[in-house]
Amino acid sequence: MPKIYLSAAMSQTQTNSAKYIKSSPWVLKSKNTNSNPQIRLFCLPFAGKGASIYHNWYQDLPPEIAVHPIQLPGRENRLNEPLLTELPALIATLTEAIYPYLDRPFAFFGHSMGALISFELTRQIRRKYGLEPIHLFISGRLAPQRRRLRPPLHNLPEEAFIDKLRSFNGTPEAVLQNLDLMNLLIPILRADLGMCEKYTYQPEAPFNCPISCFGGLEDREAELEDLEGWKEHTSSSFHLRMLPGNHFFLLDTKQLVLSAVMADLRAHLCLHR
């Protein structure tokens, strides 16, 4: 059975060495990150976005939880790096990058594409290091064993591609009309959507950690029955919360999401307040 987090001896060794972890381009730190948090919460973005969507999450969580947004290459401060277009390559590299930060209990939160990355990253960490998070938070993503039966979007001609983006209601019209911004955004979106659309699910044993799932009541990309499929991936507890909004409900219900995250992680915290 995989360990949920590092053994006491290994944890102490890595806790001592954590002071010397060099800054990683993959694993960012929020402003409140202290040198000895009780939990690390790694947050993975949805398609086309970067770590900045989680930049203020630390404001609504106690300092005992270190928020680490994950920055993928080819966007924001990594704009000049090549985009990754294959999920296995991304998972392999990210697994190596994140390992020095697994010096204490950790959890993953991912929305849409970020949820898929979180899922496969958890599997790879379990395979390679025998570790699991204390909690897996899944948002706005159908269960990996289910597939949306539709033609691929990532290789559509540009005009049709932009029309599809418009239909998702996640990109402001002012951005869709801005040629310079779209020239930056479209390659990122094509790479990210391609990664998701080429994904092939392979069965494995369920996780021992709990899974909490969030969905949007008006989201047609991940409806209730699609989200319920995530319960197959844990031998522990499963909690599904449906919130107001479409596929990008995360942006409008941040306070509700973070309250739920805090409630689910509270059992792992020793707060002296």
Q: Going by DSSP bridges, is the β-strand pair 65-69/39-44 parallel, antiparallel, or unpaired?
A: parallel
Strand partners, 213: 138, 240
Q: How far apart are the first and last CA of the chain?
A: 35
The gap from C-alpha 184 to its chain's centroid, in whole angstroms, comes to 22
Q: Is 112 noted as a catalytic residue in this protein?
A: yes
The gap from C-alpha 238 to its chain's centroid, in whole angstroms, comes to 18
**Residue 3 is encoded by which pair of tokens?**
């360990």
| Beta-carbon contacts of residue 112 (< 8 Å; ≥ 6 apart) | 46, 47, 139, 140, 141, 221, 222, 247
Of 23, 30, 112, 236, which is the active-site residue? Answer: 112
Any idea which residue has 């990594």 for tokens? 78
Which of the residues are catalytic?
A: 112
